[in-house]
A and B are shown apart, each in its own frame.
Chain A
Amino acid sequence: MMRWLVIAWAVWLEVIRRKDVYVLLVLLGTLLAVVLSLNVFGLGGTSRYALDVGLLLAWVFGWILAVTVASRQLPDEEERGTVFTLLAKPVTRFDLVMGKYAGSWSVVAAATASFYLLAAGVTAARGGRVDFAALLQAVLLHAVALGVMCGLGLWFSARLHGDAAAALAFVVTAAAFLVVPRAPEFMTRQTGLAAAGLMLLYHLLPHFEVFDMRRRVVHDFGPAAWTDVGLIAAYGFALCACLALLAWTAFRRRRFSRSVP
């Protein structure tokens, strides 16, 4: 476990050094400022739309971060040649995969939590009401969803080049976001192979819609039942465990190129 933590801390340091999170945080702040600069007929007290836009951007930025950070971890180690040094130490491939997974998941979740805090803070400063219990649930479930995205990125990168893994992870997660929740609706207009394909996608891809509590937070419905939040989180953790296992299975058979410097 200590070895996982050391590797995870290295991931944190790398992400902090790259400054991706700061850039996204500044971008989010700027976009929120632009949104809030809208003069809505001189009416005061309109803040829900800013929270809505802020949470949407938190999902988009979290998604980008999760896929890019997780997909580059293993290929970068190989490209730099540091994977040989790492594996020469008493670090197993399982430790490396789990450490990278823990590091990328936790750093992305922390960055996303800061996006939520910024969006909620701006809304509260504007006089809007934010239910912090619902917001906490939203952040927790979003963090679990980010774990699934990181797991996909890591799994693909265990066998593919970093860019290819990221591209594939973006495609799969985008399909899971956009197609899976609407598959039952699309299937009413499809027959035969197309309908079967949609049904396959529906059951094969992760259901990110169950982690999305934005509507509950933005429209002030209050927190969900904790048992349901627990069930959704358990589904997410099961997916994460499955993806970690797949990533390790792919990585343990990986043959590294010796031509790296």
Chain B
Amino acid sequence: MNPILKRPGAAALALWIAAFSLSCRIGGPPRAGVAPDVSPSVMGVLLAGSRLTLGDHFYEVADQYFHRGVPHKSEKFFGGNWFQRMAAEAAPSAHLHLQGVDVREMMPWLLLSMRANPGRAESYLVTAFWLDHGAGRPDAALEVLRQGQCEVPFNYEIQLERGRLLLRLGRRGPAAAAFDAGLAFWPGAGDPGGIGARHDKAALLLYRALLHEGAGEREEAIAALERILALFPEREHLRERIALLRSGGAPALAAPALWKQLLAADARAREENTCPQAEARDHDHEDE
């Protein structure tokens, strides 16, 4: 008798393992411009495509942690009945955010999100921002952005974040290189006409202009400011600065002081606008 027929269970198991291995091999997401990963992680092999969904879920959990466990709001056919009131009592939904060092509590989920879905740039950006501003660990933030750069190459947003962080740490040279890389990678997969992408490009150009100005490279600074004006002609104050630079005069606010103000304002705006009104409405908060 055929040995396979003698042990159909073993044969079925072997076939299943072969099919599972094959599905893991072909199930991974292709990444444009990157050579295939020759040493994928055990998690990557085991979970294959489903890890992307898992990564998105972990990112969502991190967002919920930032909102003290409050999930995103969803439209309901009916509301306010006894069960819904009691469920809200069991699991409250006050509009609160993690503050200060408490933001560390969402870091495990962001870390898992990055590991499960390494191709999601947003995870690196959010993690790096809160590591720097919440946990006070710019070194860890830089490392996260370095990982992001490896996993999502040619992403201008990661370069913009790196540039900001390096500039805040006073490392002007690497910061300038990061902004230059960001400008080279812009817009990437994004829409060049989109308002967000245009604002990001303007930010890259502004930081780059200020660094040129700080280094005494006036012509390069003027060129960068003019490129911002081409994007946003309504920014009249830039014309005054260009005129001042052309005339050889010193601006009232020197470049280093200005970029410090910009970095602080930028961080403040991002902290405050992490849950702007539109997003706050998007969460199931019971009291605003």
| Selected interface stretch from A5-13, A15-23, A218-226, A238-246 | A218-226
- Chain A residues contacting B83 (CB-CB under 8 Å) are 207, 209-210
Of chain A, the residue at the smallest CB distance from B89 is: A228
> Is there an interface contact between B89 and A207, defined as CB atoms closer than 8 Å?
no
- Whether, in the assembled complex, B189 has its beta carbon less than 8 Å from a beta carbon of chain A, the answer is no
Bound together, the chains give a CA A212 to CA B77 distance in angstroms of 22
| Selected interface stretch from A88-96, A105-113, A184-192 | A184-192
- Which has the most chain B C-beta neighbours within 10 Å: A46, A185, A211? A46
Chain B contact residue count (CB 8 A cutoff): 32
Q: Contacts A216-B92, A221-B68 known; A40 to B108 CB distance under 8 Å?
A: yes
> Is there an interface contact between A218 and B69, defined as CB atoms closer than 8 Å?
yes
Bound together, the chains give a CA A49 to CA B104 distance in angstroms of 10
> Is there an interface contact between B91 and A49, defined as CB atoms closer than 8 Å?
no
In angstroms, how far is the closest chain A Cβ from the Cβ of B255? 32
Of chain B, the residue at the smallest CB distance from A182 is: B74
- Chain A residues contacting B79 (CB-CB under 8 Å) are 184
- Whether, in the assembled complex, A42 has its beta carbon less than 8 Å from a beta carbon of chain B, the answer is yes
- Chain A residues contacting B144 (CB-CB under 8 Å) are 41
- Chain B residues contacting A228 (CB-CB under 8 Å) are 86, 89-90
- Whether, in the assembled complex, B265 has its beta carbon less than 8 Å from a beta carbon of chain A, the answer is no
The one of B91, B107, B109 in contact with A215, judged by C-beta atoms closer than 8 angstroms, is B91
Quick one: which of A163-202 are within 8 Å of B by CB?
181, 183-185, 187-188, 195
- Whether, in the assembled complex, B240 has its beta carbon less than 8 Å from a beta carbon of chain A, the answer is no
- Whether, in the assembled complex, B135 has its beta carbon less than 8 Å from a beta carbon of chain A, the answer is yes
- Chain A residues contacting B68 (CB-CB under 8 Å) are 219, 221
> Is there an interface contact between A43 and B90, defined as CB atoms closer than 8 Å?
no
> Is there an interface contact between A185 and B109, defined as CB atoms closer than 8 Å?
no
Q: Contacts A209-B83, A221-B68 known; A38 to B108 CB distance under 8 Å?
A: yes
- Which has the most chain A C-beta neighbours within 10 Å: B78, B89, B135? B89
The one of B90, B108, B140 in contact with A46, judged by C-beta atoms closer than 8 angstroms, is B108
Bound together, the chains give a CA A188 to CA B73 distance in angstroms of 14
The one of B75, B87, B94, B143 in contact with A207, judged by C-beta atoms closer than 8 angstroms, is B87
> Is there an interface contact between A45 and B104, defined as CB atoms closer than 8 Å?
yes
Quick one: which of B143-193 are within 8 Å of A by CB?
143-144
In angstroms, how far is the closest chain A Cβ from the Cβ of B40? 20
Bound together, the chains give a CA A38 to CA B104 distance in angstroms of 13
- Whether, in the assembled complex, A213 has its beta carbon less than 8 Å from a beta carbon of chain B, the answer is yes
Bound together, the chains give a CA A228 to CA B78 distance in angstroms of 21
Bound together, the chains give a CA A211 to CA B83 distance in angstroms of 10
In angstroms, how far is the closest chain A Cβ from the Cβ of B30? 28
> Is there an interface contact between A224 and B89, defined as CB atoms closer than 8 Å?
yes
In angstroms, how far is the closest chain A Cβ from the Cβ of B88? 9
Bound together, the chains give a CA A195 to CA B77 distance in angstroms of 10
- Chain A residues contacting B105 (CB-CB under 8 Å) are 46, 48-49
- Whether, in the assembled complex, B268 has its beta carbon less than 8 Å from a beta carbon of chain A, the answer is no
The one of B84, B91, B107, B109 in contact with A41, judged by C-beta atoms closer than 8 angstroms, is B107
Q: Would you list 7 pairs from A and B whose C-beta atoms are within 8 A, ordered by A residue?
A: A41-B107, A43-B104, A43-B140, A49-B65, A185-B75, A215-B69, A224-B89
- Chain A interface residues toward B at CB < 8 A: 38, 40-43, 45-46, 48-49, 141, 181, 183-185, 187-188, 195, 207, 209-216, 218-219, 221, 224-225, 228, 231-232, 235
